[in-house]
Structures are given as structure tokens and as C-alpha cells.
Chain A
């Protein structure tokens, strides 16, 4: 017992340096950002003087009343919805086909996964060319040109330069969502494949013996068993999408009239292009809260499960 206790103390001391680093670089810095978001540091000279004036929620008020930030929130909402739905839809679909064990499915699996190895900025650069509209209909570019070549001129469209919207959904987000799905759906496929492989064959065989068809097996047996994985994928995709930056920065930037703007882009421009540190910090605090709302309950529940098992 005493050996165990001594060991435990050592365990804590081993982890202590990392804990201190995380304490400073995560928790203290977050506190510092929150503090900045309540200050009037909206110019470099004010920051330089270093006098801290508490201004309450003024920065938050300004941000929430800001048209551009309102657009950002709508864009984040729709981006998140379609990105999650698309990635899970495609990833699950692919996992099910690959799981059938057709010849060559290893090759397809590797192909669908390779975008995960590539940087978002690379993806953004390449897709920005594919979706560049050109002068339609006369001198189309990218995918519009492809449509022209195969006689589908009707599908030509302004893509991420479009200013159309349905309700608050800016259609210019569609190409960005497609690029993001391209990047992430292979990952989702891999997660589901791991889940499908973990389902004991006896369960499926038993169902088949009982005369269940494949559709029934998929919806009534596989899907319920894959529920924890679906939850994990939603958490992963959700937190990626709430803070998405590189892809959009490299692909479209904020776009004409901020049609493809997101909080991370606005925060970046405010903080690092216009020296409006307090406003930028307010946006990052809002981003943190959005992520925390999904992450903290998730961490809490998965760690509790870890304790009981």
C-alpha cells in the first residue's frame, strides 16, 4: 500500500511540468484573453500604454450588433450543419461499401483517406482554382469550363463569388463546404469502418438467419451499435467547423460582402490587421464558448465512462 502511494505521488510529480505549462498556456492565457476582451485596447497605442480600463461588455455589444459578425454566425451555423451532415453521410456510406470487402476496397479506402494528410491551406488553394467561375458564360474557368466542355452550361454558376442567399444561408458557402467534406469524409469513413469491424459477426449472422434483410440490419442493428461513433464524429466535426480558419482563408477569404466570412477570419483581421485587440479577443471568447458548450459535456461523460470501466 505504501509503495503504491509513493508511486502515485511520483505519478503526480511526473505530470506536474506539463500541468503547469497547460495551466499557463491554456488556462491563464484564456483568462488573459477574457480580460483583454473587457478592455479598451482597440488600438496599438492604447495597448502600449498598458493602462487597463475595464469597459464591461462594450466590445461584446459592438460585436453582436456588427452586421459582419451576424453574417459570421449564420455562416458558421449553416457551414456546420451541411459540413457535418455531408461528411457523416458520405463517410458512413463509403464505410458501408468498403466494409463489404470487395476486391480492391483497400485501394479505395486509401484514396478516400489521402486528403486527411494534406494541409487545409493546400486544399483551399487547389479548390479555389477549381471553383473559380471565370467570365461565365463566355470564358468559363474551372468547373464551369468542365460543364461547358460536356455540354452542361446550365450548371455554370458563380460559386464562392456568388452573392445569392436563401434566408440567411449564403450559397457562396457551398464550394467551401464541398472542399471541407472532401477533406474530412475519409476520416469519418475510417472511424465508421473501425466501428463496423468491431461489431461481432455472430449478431449479424443471427439476424440473417432470422430472415432480416440488409436494410433492416443496417438501420436496426448496425446504426444503434455505431451510435457512440456517430457522437464522436459529430464532436470532432463540430469543433473543427466552429473554429475553421485555414481552409477558408486560403480558398476565399471573407469573400465579397463577407459571404464566406467566419468568426476566425474576422478575429484574425481585427487582431492582426487592424490592431483592435479587444474586439478580436471578444470574438475569440465567443468562439471558445461555442466550442466549450459541446466539448465540456462530452469530455465529462467520456471520462466518467472511463472511470467506471
Chain B
């Protein structure tokens, strides 16, 4: 590559970076401004006086919902990862007649617009008395997470040679032992990828959250953030601080475990 070419590439990268940073920049500077400084005319300027007013306000309003999101996301992530691992094991190492068809039937659930199951789902939870609760949302995310976690673990286990399983079974290990003693210990990276994927998706989810929890005290943070926007007299500093707070856990995961995050992204798209 010639030097001019390299410079041109950098210029292009920097210009596109501006596009990617802009929302982040606006959010950050606005959330540190006191309300008195939030006038239209200086929305792009740095805050003259740094203030935590926005964060305190947002924290007061969103803290309970943040807690809800953790209550919801952590168990749902763990359960759906375990379920996916067991299913992935069955579909990759214990193939049975029609296992491909079964897999396709399960996988379809990943792509459906959730609108097409929403109304019966709500009726179902009303009937069993869980409507409006966080356990209902946990159940939802575990069930609708089955396709993607199964897919990811199936792909992961297919990379593991069958001989390993066969050797263990010749040594007299039963299936339970094969799964817990042979497969699970080498599944840790798979679990990390699946857990990050599920954590991010469940944390960020909105449609189920807004339709299944109608009580503001039970709502996850995504719903509370949108309500914050709807109910306030443009307290933009609070709203932008709220957006940052809502995004923080997944951003931390992304920064700390970026490699696994990307692997999850790639595993999440069915390969053609």
C-alpha cells in the first residue's frame, strides 16, 4: 500500500467514526449538564459546569427497574444456556431419526415475529396467574431462547470430535457421565459466548417487557427508559443519563468480553 492510500483510509475511517461516536458524545455531554444548561442553543457544547444532577435523577427513577432487569436477565440467561447445552448435546452427539427436522422446527421459533404469539401468551399468563410478573418474563426468555441457544451449542459441540465421546463410552461412562464429565468441562468457552449473547438480548428486549409487565414497579429498565421519555417535560439530562445507565451493563460486557461477544454475534446468524 502506498502512503497516500494509507492516509486516505485513515481519513475515511475517522469520518465514519464521527458518525458512530456522535450519539455517544451527545449522550455523555448532556447527561453531565445541569438542567439550567440544557438549552437548545448549546446542545453540542461541553458542559460549562459538570453536574451529576442528571445521573442522580435518572438513578432515582431507574434504580428499581435496573434491579428488575438483573432479576430477570441473570436467571433467564443461566437457565436458557443450560437448556441449550443439553439440547445441543442431543442434536450433535446423539443424532436420531428426523433430528434435522426437529432442529428445523425448533429453529423456526428464532425468526418468528413475537407479535404472532403475543396475544395468546398474555392470555396464558393471565390464566396461570403470572401475568405482570418478572417470573413470567423469565419463562418467556427461557422458552424463546431455546432455538438460539440450541443452535449455538449444537454448532459448538459439532466441532468436538465424536471419538472423544466414543472413547468415554467404551470406558463404560453412561450418557450422564459423558455429558457432565467429558463435555461440560470443555464447554466453558461455549457457555461464555451463549451467556453473553443471551444476557445482551434479554437485557435489551422491549416488546415482551412492555406487554407482559403493566405495573411500573415490575418493569425492566428498557420499558422504564421509554416511559421516562414520554412522561417528562424534556429533562434531557435525566433522559440521556438514563439511556447511559440502561446501556451500561451490556457495554461493560462488550468492552470486557468483546472477543466472545463477536463470536456470539457470528454464531447467532445461521450460516448458509
Contact = CB atoms under 8 A, between A and B. Distances in A.
A283 interface: yes
Interface residues of B, number: 91
B185 interface: no
Contact of A15 (B91, B265, B270): B91
Contact of A302 (B16, B117, B240, B271): B271
A62 to B, nearest CB: 17
Contact of B116 (A8, A113, A287): A287
Contact of B100 (A11, A29, A307): A307
A287 B115 contact: yes
A115 interface: yes
Contacts of B26: 126, 129-130
A54 interface: no
B120 A15 contact: no
A25 B144 contact: yes
A19 interface: yes
Interface residues of A: mostly helix, strand, loop or mixed?
helix
B143 to A, nearest CB: 5
Interface centre among A26, A271, A299 (most CB of B within 10 A): A26
Interface in A105-132: 105, 108, 110-123, 125-130
B261 A117 contact: yes
Which range contains the number of A residues in contact with the other chain? 35 or more
Given A100-B1, A127-B23, A142-B43, A111 B17 contact: yes
B265 A112 contact: no
Nearest to A115: B20
Interface stretch (B47-55, B129-137, B249-257): B249-257
A90 B17 CA distance: 12
Nearest to B1: A100
A116 B119 CA distance: 29
B190 interface: no
A278 to B, nearest CB: 10
B101 to A, nearest CB: 9
Contacts of A298: 270, 272
B111 A191 contact: no
Interface in A274-302: 277, 280-281, 283-285, 287-288, 291, 295-296, 298-302
A272 interface: yes
Given A113-B262, A125-B226, A36 B113 contact: no
Interface string B76-109: 0000000100110111011111011011111111
B158 to A, nearest CB: 9
B91 A182 contact: no
A189 to B, nearest CB: 10
- Across the A-B interface, the 7 shortest Cβ-Cβ residue pairs: A11-B94, A119-B204, A117-B254, A8-B96, A243-B113, A284-B115, A29-B117
Interface of B: 1, 6, 9-10, 12-13, 16-17, 19-23, 26-27, 30, 40-41, 43-44, 83, 86-87, 89-91, 93-97, 99-100, 102-109, 111-121, 124, 143-144, 146-147, 150, 169, 175, 200, 203-207, 211, 222, 225-226, 229, 236, 239-240, 242-243, 246-247, 250-251, 253-254, 258, 261-262, 265-266, 269-272
